[in-house]
Amino acid sequence: MLVTPPQPQNPSTTHHVSTATLRFDHHQREFADVFGHGFSTRLSSAGLVYKHFGKDIIANIMQSKPDAPEVHLIWLAVYKNFMEAVDAIDNGINQWEGDAKPKYINNTHLSARVGGLNPAWNQDQSDAARMEAFTKAMALTGAEFLESVGFFVNCWLPARQYVEVCGGCG
C-alpha cells in the first residue's frame, strides 16, 4: 500500500526524493529532475519511481536482466509513449505551446479517469471511501501500465527485430 508520509515541521530541510528510503515527493520548488535520454519533462512521483525501478519491473515481466539491451529499449519506449504524459499532466504542462485554447476537451486520459474515481463533493468522504477510490485507481493505473509494457514487449519489439533484419534486404 502507498502511504503519504506526515509532513515535517520544516519541509525546506527535508529530503523528499530518495530511492534508499522510497520517498518520491516531487512537489518542491527546487526539484527539477527529468528522465534524461533526450526527454526534458519534469518528473512526477510516478516518473521518479519509473526512472529508478522501471527497468527492474520490465525485466521481471520479460524474464530478463535489467541491463539487457531489449529491456532498455522497452524502458525508453514506455516512458515516451506512456509515462511522459503522466509526468507532464501531473506537472501542469500543456501538450501545445502558448495560450491557445484547445479545439476540444480531453477527459479520457489516464489522469482524468483516476481523478474521476475520487468521491464527488456530495458523496461519502470517509477514509474508507477514499481508500476504496485509491484502490480502484491503483488497479486502473497498474492495468494500463502493464498493457503498455505488454504492447512494447509482445508487439513492438518483435516487429522492430523484423525491421532490423529486413533493413539489410534488397
In Å, how far from its chain's centre is CA 5? 20
pLDDT in tens, the chain (170 residues): 344 444 444 444 444 556 666 665 655 667 788 999 999 999 998 999 999 999 999 999 999 999 999 999 999 999 999 999 999 999 888 888 888 888 888 889 999 999 999 999 999 999 999 999 999 999 999 999 999 999 999 999 999 988 888 876 65
- The helix (H) or strand (E) run that includes residue 41 is strand 39-42
**Short-list 143, 24, 38, 1, CA closest to 82:** 143
List, in order, residues 6 or more apart from 128 with CB less than 8 Å away.
none
Question: Hey, what's the torsion of the CAs at 24, 29, 31, 37, to 10 degrees?
Answer: 120
pLDDT score of 46: 92
pLDDT score of 14: 44
Confidence (pTM): 0.81
pLDDT score of 56: 97
pLDDT score of 6: 41
